[in-house]
Structure formats: C-alpha cells, structure tokens
C-alpha cells in the first residue's frame, strides 16, 4: 500500500511541477505582450523629471507599493535623494521635488491624497496607472500607462492572473528598465553604485 501512496504523491508532484511551469510561462507571456503595448516615448518623459528634481518621493499601496520600494532602492543606488512616503523619516515634500505615484485604478485614497498634497505645494507628480481617466491622472504632470488589468477586473479579458498582478509585475520590470537605461547612459561602474548599498543589514 505504501508504494501505491508514494506513486500517487509523485504523480501529484509531477502534475504540480507542470502547472508551475505553465503558470510561469503564462506570466512571462503576459509581460512580453504588455511590453509591446507600452508607449516608451511616454515613459522617457520621466527622465527629465528625475534629473531636475531636488528630491524624489515615491508612493504606492500594496504590491504596487512594494514595486516602487524596489525602484526607490535603485534610484538611491544611482545617487538620487529618495524617500518612500509613509516612512517616519520621510520629510515634507517641496516645490522642487518629484512625487512618483502608482495606482492601477488611479483612485486609491492615500495615493490620491499624497498627489493632492504634492500638487498643492507645486511639486511635480508623475504617475503609473492603467487609465488616464482618474483623480490621480488629473493631478499628474505625466501619466505613464501600463495597459494591464485593474484589481477588480475579474473577467480575465486582459489578464489571466489574479487581481492587479500584471500591473504590479509590469511596474517592477519597467522601473528596473528605467534604472538600467539611466545606468547605461552614464556608465558609472557597478562598484561605485554599490558603495551606496545598505551596510547595516
């Protein structure tokens, strides 16, 4: 009996392994498709905002917020003065600063409020979203569209993945591409960037 149960377990594991492979390929295929739909000229407009800002603030919620935290780390490595909104050590935003916001729907309450506050002091707001028809878009000097599904789009017409996964993954990959592009343009050795990496870990 034991060998039968073991064989059944192995069969289940093999099926799970195949499903894992299929789902990873699904995610990669969706990201490749998304990349063909992004207006990269629109994305490139971000570069002057980054270079002209005294300081850069980033705000996002949930998994989008985690993607922007990753972007904040890379921008810090590049030499920018960077803050993540909501941290206890984050200072007040000023007119000469830039707020980078991310919200698939463009309606996430705390993100819209942060954009309102930034705009009220004259700071530039650049946003990543899935739509130009939102309160966040109206507050933004530049809106970068990732044509992905929003969190409540459960029809799987845009993405077979759960909730806003396609947007959140795309945000992480696109902000990495932004960093990679700036790094290639400047040519700073990786060893120099690494000197800014956290050493209190």
Average pLDDT over residues 37-52: 96
What residues act catalytically? Answer: 168
Q: Which CATH superfamily is domain 39-194 in?
A: Glucose-6-phosphate isomerase like protein; domain 1 (3.40.50.10490)
- Residue range 151-175, pLDDT digits in tens: 566 556 789 998 889 999 999 999 9
Alpha helices per DSSP H over 58-148: 62-78, 109-120, 135-139
Domain boundaries, the chain: 1-37, 39-194
Nearest to 136 by CA among 43, 61, 52, 50: 61
The confidence score (pLDDT) of residue 8 equals: 47
Task: Label residue 189 left, alpha or beta by phi (over 0 means left) and psi (-120 to 50 means alpha).
Answer: beta
Residue 42 in this model has a pLDDT that exceeds 50: yes
* DSSP code per residue over 38-73: S-HHHHHTHHHHHHH-SSEEEEE-HHHHHHHHHHHH
- Residue range 122-137, pLDDT digits in tens: 999 999 999 999 999 9
Strand, coil or helix: 94 = coil
The confidence score (pLDDT) of residue 163 equals: 81
Q: Compute the mean pLDDT over every residue in the chain, rounded to the nearest whole number.
A: 91
How large a percentage of the chain has pLDDT more than 90?
80
Strand, coil or helix: 198 = coil
Tokens of 136: 């966040």
């Amino acid at each position: 009996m034991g060998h039968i149960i073991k064989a059944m377990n192995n069969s289940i594991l093999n099926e799970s392994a195949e499903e894992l492979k299929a789902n990873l390929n699904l995610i990669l295929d969706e990201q490749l498709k998304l990349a063909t739909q992004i207006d990269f000229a629109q994305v490139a407009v971000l570069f002057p905002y980054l270079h002209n800002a005294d300081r850069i603030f980033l705000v996002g919620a949930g998994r989008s917020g985690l993607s922007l935290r990753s972007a904040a780390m890379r921008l810090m490595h590049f030499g920018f003065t960077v803050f993540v909104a909501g941290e206890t050590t984050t200072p007040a935003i000023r007119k000469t600063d830039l707020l980078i916001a991310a919200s698939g729907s463009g309606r996430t309450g705390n993100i819209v409020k942060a954009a309102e506050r930034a705009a009220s002091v004259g700071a530039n707001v650049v946003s990543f979203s899935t739509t130009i028809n939102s309160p966040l878009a109206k507050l933004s000097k530049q809106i970068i569209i990732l044509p992905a599904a929003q969190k409540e789009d459960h029809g799987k017409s845009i993405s077979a993945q759960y909730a806003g996964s396609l947007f959140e993954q795309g945000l992480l990959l696109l902000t990495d591409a932004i960093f990679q592009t700036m790094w290639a343009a400047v040519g700073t050795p990786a060893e120099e960037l690494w000197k800014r990496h956290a050493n209190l870990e």
